[in-house]
Amino acid sequence: MTLDWDQIIAQNMCRITPEGTLVHPGLHEAWGLSVAVAVALIAVWGMFAAAPARAAASVHWSLSSTPFVGPLFERLAKSAVLLSVFKFISVILFLMVIWSGLAGTPLPERNLATVLTWNLWWSGVIVSVFFLGSAWCAICPWDALSNWLVRRRLWKRADEETSLGLKVPKALRNVWPAVFAFVALTWLELGVGLTSAPYATAVLALTMLVLASLSMAIFERKAFCRFACPVGRTIGFYAQLAPVELRPKDPPTCATCKTLECYHGSNEVDPCPTHQVMGRMTQNTFCTSCGNCARSCPHENIGWRLRPPSHEVINTARPHWDEAWFMVILLALTGFHGLTMMEFFEDWMRGLARMIGDSGQLLMSFSIAMVAAIVLPVALYSSVIWLTHFLSARDSDPSFHKLFASFAFVALPLAFFYHLAHNLSHLLREGIGAGEVFANPLGYGAQPLSIITRHARMNDMALTPTTLATLQALLLALGFLVAVLVIRARSKKMFGDHQSGLKARLPQLPILTFAIGITIWHLWLLMQPMVMRS
């Protein structure tokens, strides 16, 4: 195939449709073919290469002991004052969102509430996980404000009387509340159209603050963060792929600790908000990076360290039934989010509306499409797990339930790296002009941006369109590679010595096919023109 680079570059510029809609370009066929070839090669390697004799050892690098920058990371882990400074900045921006959304212009591209929330924060927070893990949760304004309002402390340990301190009912001690909250948030964002409604964006932000505050006032520790926050749980699961973690510097010290200040807290420091014991923690899922453990540890044995990216999700993360459902539904809704931004999606909704007699905002049609977007991938994944169970049927082999929970980790890299590739386009193209919005957060006197101005901004990225497309293609290929590594490692754990021969490796073929299909689906989505958000 002969590549016309002038044509490729032109295709990777934003354009205006005859109907006056601005669309981001899709990946050129050259990148699509490159990803398809990479997927094929990785799949062949994953299926036919000999399984590792044992799980790869995790190599860690303590950031606290790193020359020159070590003291900085030590301070980041232990300084409550420094963390509070970042929280204050986060809270100020959050209050500006509330103020702008309630009192500012309804023009979404001129109002700080919509620009900061949807164009910058939601796109940027997913990108931040790639480098910083769950660091956002440490400065979350919902948590900071609810903590200050309910417990009336900036950083020192709060009095017990400030909360009822009830235990969360056993039926709710799982991530199912977060699953339903995530589905509801997606429905509001994409179906109701919160991304283009400053007032509704502010109301949603206030609602999240109220829920976090009520939870803190009623239940012990931070039940909202642990069980119900859709943003925190998404970040937590994605953080299993991150290259950073807060862990013991010397594990034997934690193994012999009897007082467990990391869990119980100290006289000055609150206990772990999500009930984690540092010496037993093997995954980032419920770590909010708050640093309570580092500040309360009498041995000064906890700090930040680097690790091989994705090692946790491949080797050490433990499967749980409710968490498996969250991961699979996260994968389904991530792809659905991309589908809703296709040029043809609105036509699909109108066609469905005519069939069922829907009218108005087409909420019924959208809801049906969203339910289908969840049910179909879940059914497909369940079928794949059933087939895996059938192919591996032996008396000693794991149950369907256990296979479902264990192989759900395959969903994480597939969802996360597509999410990154998708959000990079939003962040780089739709974040342009944010400085003007910060200068006039309420949008007083501002006129709607002309289609020509918006088109020029979309094409004035910090990266060239070719660089962006290359990064998106690499991210998709990387996501599939990590998924294959997960399949190989989890198959080894599930089937043990049965992995020694090629015929015995047949049970992993269904889940490998599932990963291939999802990656091709994500690639197809990225190759389609995407309607811009604002």
Q: Regarding predicted confidence, which is higher, 89 or 165?
A: 89
The two beta strands, 302-306 and 244-248, are antiparallel
Query: Hey, what are 103's tokens?
Result: 């009192």
CB proximity list for 514: less than 8 A, separation 6 or greater: 380, 381, 384, 410
Q: Is the pLDDT of residue 62 over 90?
A: no
Mean pLDDT of 160-164: 77
Does the structure show a pLDDT above 90 at 36? yes
Closest CA to 421 of 2, 7, 32: 32
What pLDDT is attached to residue 479? 97
User: Which pLDDT band, with edges at 50, 70 and 90, does 6 fall under?
Assistant: very low
Q: What is the pTM of this model?
A: 0.91
Residue 314 · residue 160 · CB < 8 Å = no
Encode burial over 304-338: b for 16+ CB neighbours within 10 A, e otherwise. bbebebbbbbbbebebeeebbbbbbbbbbbbbbbb
Judge whether residue 144 has pLDDT over 80. Answer: yes
pLDDT of 137 over the 90 cut: yes
Distance CA 64, CA 249 (A): 9
> What 3-state DSSP class applies to 257?
coil
> Could you give the dihedral angle defined by the CA atoms of residues 340, 525, 453 and 126, in that order, rounded to the nearest 10 degrees?
80
Taking residue 18's Cβ as centre, other Cβ atoms within 10 Å add up to: 5
Residue 118 CA to residue 390 CA, distance in Å, equals 44
Q: Give the per-residue pLDDT at 48.
A: 83
pLDDT of residue 395: 53
**Structure confidence at residue 229 (pLDDT):** 95
Q: Is the pLDDT of residue 469 over 70?
A: yes
Site of tokens 């994605």: 238
In this prediction, residue 519 has a pLDDT band, given cuts at 50, 70 and 90, of very high
Torsions phi, psi for 244 (to 5 deg): -125, 150
Average pLDDT on 277-302 reads: 91
Segment 471-499 shows an average pLDDT of 87
> What are the start-end ranges of the E strands in 121-205?
none
Q: Exposed (0-12), middle (13-18) or buried (19+): which is 206, by Cβ within 10 Å? A: middle
Q: DSSP secondary structure string, 421-477?
A: HHHHHHHHHHSTTHHHHHHSTT-TTPPPPPHHHHHHHHT--SS-HHHHHHHHHHHHH
Determine contact, residues 314/292, Cβ cutoff 8 Å. no
CA distance 228 to 282: 21
- pLDDT value at position 152? 80
Poorest-pLDDT segment among 250-254, 387-391, 453-457, 478-482 = 453-457
* Secondary structure E strands in 190-255: 244-248
Helix residue spans in 152-197 (DSSP H): 176-186
CA–CA dist 237, 419 (Å, integer) = 13
User: CB-hemisphere CA count at 13 Å for 83?
Assistant: 27
What value does the mean pLDDT take over residues 113-124?
A: 91
Token look-up 């970040």 returns 235
> SS3 of 61, please?
strand
C-alpha–C-alpha distance, residues 90 and 111, integer Å: 18
The answer to whether 63 touches 31, Cβ cutoff 8 Å, is no
pLDDT at res. 111: 93
Q: Kindly tell me the burial class for residue 299, based on how many C-beta atoms sit within 10 Å of its own C-beta (0-12, 13-18, 19 or more).
A: middle
Element (H, E) at 373: helix 363-391
Q: How far apart are CA 52 and CA 50, in angstroms?
A: 6
